[in-house]
Structure 1
């Protein structure tokens, strides 16, 4: 048994996780640990090819698809998105992000594609603000992952809401990548899944990644696990907060490029290798360098927050769809902590990864650690974050 197995096994044994898959790739070889259970109640063990909801780990994939279109000159970073979505031609901005919806001012300028790729569009999402904008998002857009709206209706609904910040002014995490994905699909005249399959999945050999799991692969899904209010692991039917259905309908048109994908450790490795392995040719060296160069100003980096906590601190910035390490000594593990230029972006359901070009390594940890906010506040589910810290320490040793 290797030390990664032991470390993850201890977290499972403590009742803090049902199971996890950890993968470390370096020098062309992968070390994999599949620990615990994909279904505790049925006694089904976790396997290397187990499928997980990867939540916001979807964002770098959609951003990479956008970069393939950028290098084809289908759009420029400075282009206003109203060129593709005229719904966003004349946006308004809340004077106070938590204030009344009718207390707005005109946007100083239009939202650009770069704004979407860097989360500087002024877009938010349900759950991120305490004011009326929160309920307005839920009413206009429906559930985050499985919205019943058509893509066009969803785009129109988002455009009808005021922004929480001026375009380009600050890093504001929200629906930017969801919108980006639907704009790529509109530009291609296809569904977002078709766009990703053509531009990313098939070129990289990612045969297990998509917005739903086909019936013949469902036995490989890792069960969704959260906690009850006593802190005991609990299997759940769907992600917390009503953001998704237990089973995505086959005729559902909307797809969340921001958080909706399922994947495996090996599929995500095929994607992440792009950042460290020159033999992976999805993006040109120039486009890859553009994607992995910090675009945020120092005030934007240092002022970025999520749920009252610093997003980057002093050690990291953000490129076009990925976090980027600027100072290895002060970079946070959750955003990726390696040599200068290390990229990553975690997922809310426990998934984490980084790719470090300074030593050619990739580290990926997939699990389902699905928490209600009040449970996290009560201290439940912290073992999953501890597992990421331990895995990172062992993976980078």
Structure 2
């Protein structure tokens, strides 16, 4: 596995990476290449900091379930009390309808709707300009993307509340946006900023000492450079550098979905993965009940909704969606059994656990996902992680 990954670095596909595979107490870590492409870039280290983007979604799901278990939120209860901007929704008659052609929502949005990305809004899987709602989402500044959300949470929700839903609550899966809303929900229901809640209730108990929404000066030497491929030349160009990084200051919007989002390390995510594999326990501390962990890693999407919920080709063939991440529903050419749970991030990061194999695996890179090449690297790594078990 390490040899294959080293080939990508030596060919210049990316400046460096950190890969980790753990089973039980055995942990293998490969830190390859450098943190950037310049001659002064330091070597990649086991504790290098990476922007994890949508890998934040499982963390946000755990934060939400903590409040469910405390009784501050109800899984199948309305979110109207905490998110009045989403009360009394109107729903487009059809996805291609004019914004004024709406019907009343049949019911209120629930916590489960947000966790399962079935609350009615999200990324529209069609070319830009196909439907009027796409331009409205862009103008409201609530589009999914790499750029961090710059509005504070209350303004973000005000803008979100100006939009009609595309689908009735609970009827279709639409990627991403529900987790940005969940971050606001957790903050309001807990009475804490979302970043403070994550730190106090999740990161400190799990000793995830490097996971945060910004990087202090004393840690900035460990922050890798993020790259994007120039579509014309194919060359990697620096997109966010440690010296003037967006992550050098706390964000206006602590993102639950990962847009802007968290930085983390291999060992921090290993601690999180082991907590999931231990059914919610970390050492002598229980964070979540086994029932909540089981729900996270159980497919929540009925087959008829998968058929009507486009994502990328083949996504639903052997995959479902739990809380915060994807769940394999049958052997899929990567793992030999169902039940693998995890998610990736827009900078090429990948994280998954397999309860049947007692396996945690993650690949951390910093090259923006712009096409199938980046997805191919994550797929190759995931297959090699299972082959390593056989060896």
- TM-score of the two chains, using structure 2 as the length reference: 0.89
Give the secondary-structure state (helix, strand or coil) at the position aligned to 2:55. helix
Q: Does the 8 A contact of 2:50 with 2:364 survive in 1? A: yes
Deviation sequence 1:149-172 (CA, Å, 0-9, x none):
221111111111111111100111
The one of 93, 106, 120 equivalent to 2:104 is 106
Deviation sequence 1:309-349 (CA, Å, 0-9, x none):
24322x22112222222212xx375xxx4533221111121
1:309 aligns with 2:307: no
Question: Residue 366 of structure 1: CA displacement?
Answer: 0.8
Question: Residue 126 of structure 1: CA displacement?
Answer: 7.8
Alignment correspondent of 1:94: 92
Q: Structure 2 CA distance, aligned partners of 1:304 and 1:255? A: 28
In structure 2, do the counterparts of structure 1 residues 248 and 139 end up closer, same or farther at CA, with 3 Å as the change threshold? Answer: farther
Q: Structure 1 CA distance, aligned partners of 2:90 and 2:127? A: 17
Q: Structure 2 CA distance, aligned partners of 1:43 and 1:85? A: 45
Q: CA RMSD in A?
A: 2.2
Q: Structure 2 CA distance, aligned partners of 1:10 and 1:251? A: 36
Give the secondary-structure state (helix, strand or coil) at the position aligned to 2:205. helix
Q: Structure 1 CA distance, aligned partners of 2:27 and 2:152? A: 41
Alignment correspondent of 2:37: 40
Q: Structure 1 CA distance, aligned partners of 2:188 and 2:170? A: 23
1:17 aligns with 2:7: no
Alignment correspondent of 1:364: 362
Question: Residue 210 of structure 1: CA displacement?
Answer: 1.1
Q: Does the 8 A contact of 1:120 with 1:170 survive in 2? A: yes
Question: Residue 253 of structure 1: CA displacement?
Answer: 3.1
The count of corresponding residues between Structure 1 and Structure 2 is 373
Q: Structure 1 CA distance, aligned partners of 2:191 and 2:252? A: 13
Between 249-258 and 265-274, the greater mean CA deviation after superposition: 249-258
Q: Structure 2 CA distance, aligned partners of 1:73 and 1:370? A: 39
Question: Residue 273 of structure 1: CA displacement?
Answer: 1.2
Q: Which runs of 5+ in 2 are unaligned?
A: none
Question: Residue 127 of structure 1: CA displacement?
Answer: 8.1
Q: Which runs of 5+ in 1 are unaligned?
A: 239-244
In structure 2, do the counterparts of structure 1 residues 320 and 252 end up closer, same or farther at CA, with 3 Å as the change threshold? Answer: closer
Q: Structure 2 CA distance, aligned partners of 1:61 and 1:129? A: 30
Alignment correspondent of 2:49: 51
1:230 aligns with 2:228: no
The one of 327, 330, 337 equivalent to 1:339 is 337
Deviation sequence 1:208-235 (CA, Å, 0-9, x none):
1111111111111111112122212222
Give the secondary-structure state (helix, strand or coil) at the position aligned to 1:204. coil
Question: Residue 180 of structure 1: CA displacement?
Answer: 0.6
Alignment correspondent of 2:383: 393
- TM-score of the two chains, using structure 1 as the length reference: 0.88
Alignment correspondent of 1:242: none
Q: Does the 8 A contact of 1:66 with 1:184 survive in 2? A: yes
Alignment correspondent of 1:78: 76
